[in-house]
Each structure stands twice: as C-alpha cells, then as structure tokens.
Amino acid sequence: MHLGLGNCESELSLKEQNHTQEAIERMNTTYDMNKTAIILIGYQNDYFATDGALVGALEDTEWRVEMLANTVKLLESVSNTETLLISTPIVFTPDYEELVEPTGILKAIVDVGAFKGGEAGSETIKELSSFGGRIQEIPGKRGLNAFSNTGLNEALKARGITDVVIAGVVTSICIDSTGRAAHEHGYRVSILKDCTAGRTTFEQNFYCENIFPLYADVIDSEELLKSTVESEEVLPSR
C-alpha cells in the first residue's frame, strides 16, 4: 500500500513538473504577427443561431456564448495588425451529393439538413461577418479537416505563415483534425482554449489537457496577445 502511494506521489510530482516546464516554454514563445494566421472554424449559424440545425450539439450554451465573445474580442485586437485571418466554412450542395454513405458527424449533418449552400444555416454568423473583408474566407471545406479540398495551405504558404492559431468548433472534430493537419504540414500550431468549444465541458477539457498538447501549444487569447511581435520583414504580395 505504501509503495503504491509513493508511486502515485511520484507520478503527480512528475506531472506537476511537466506542467511547470510547459508554462515556462509558453512564456518564452512569441508570435510574429506577420507570419501568424488565425484559422476560424465552424462560426456558422447552424452551430450558433438559436434555431441552428446543430445548435444542440454544443451542450454548454453558456460556454458557447463566452467563447464567441472571446473570439470577437481577439479579432478586434488583431484586426489592425498584419495577422492573417481566415475562415473555412463547411458548406454542402442542397442534396449533399459530395457525401457518399456518410457516417458519424457527417451523417448527423445530413440527417438534420445542416450547412446547405444558399441557406441561412451555412452562413457565417453576424459577429464575424461584421469584420467584412478583413477575414479571408476560403471555400471548399466538405469534411472535418480545413486543409482538405481547400486552398488553405496555399494561402498560408503565399503569406509566409509559420504559426497557425486555431479557434472555433467542434473541439474533438474539426479543431482536432485541422490542428493535426497543420502540424503535419510543418506549421507551429496553437489551439486557443478560450476560443474553442466541444460538445461537452468534459470533451473540451479533455482535449485541451490531454490531446492537443501532443502536437500543439494550448493557450488562451490573452496569452497570444501578450506574446505577439511585428517584424519589419517585407511581406509577400497578397
């Protein structure tokens, strides 16, 4: 019994040391805003409007409101910088002809009729559309990964982006899929824990504490803003 307790204490001590080291590393991390892109995923009416087809998918409604407010505050703070702001909405044809025998979340989308092109549910929420052309919209997303079937990687490369910061929904699906893809494309990835939302509070916390750190830095928007610099490099033409 004593040995078991000792092992638990050792494991806890090691975990605390790891968290401390991660915190120190984050403090030393800076983001060159000329080389940073914030990728906005899922900010569409079907997730956020009161009558959205998938509004019930995000069970913690209070957190959904809070993470959206955090996102808007962040966008307002960086809108006058050189930070590349990109949204990647998921939009399907009215009969979902792109999806062949969909399963999982894609089947759920079909079942409830979400994200149909030309319908209000697929449109970007007004909180983000109010930024107009400051947010570059990249079309083509038909699945979980914002890099798949889109020009996202090409847009990032054209601007010389090295850091990808991800915000949006849903944590365990599109956020995770896009984050992993960004990592595999060679970008330094950061996930904004206060600007993302999972289907449940447990899911959000679990991914931020156990999954995302495997390939990304998990930070909040205030940490990002405090760690930004602007270089004097000449940017590639847009």
Distance CA 101, CA 126 (A): 33
Where residue 228 falls among pLDDT bands split at 50, 70, 90?
Answer: confident
Residue 39 to residues 76, 148, 153, 158, 178, Cα–Cα distance (Å):
15, 14, 11, 15, 9
Instruction: Spell out the domains of the chain, with CATH numbers in brackets.
Output: 31-229 (3.40.50.850)
pTM: 0.85
Q: Where are the alpha helices (DSSP H) in 79-191?
A: 104-112, 126-129, 152-158, 176-184
Where residue 234 falls among pLDDT bands split at 50, 70, 90?
Answer: very low
Q: 55 Cβ partners below 8 Å, 6+ apart?
A: 46, 47, 48, 49
Which is more confident, 18 or 152? Answer: 152
How many H-runs (helices) and E-runs (strands) does the chain carry? Answer: 9, 8
What mean pLDDT, rounded, does the chain reach?
Answer: 89
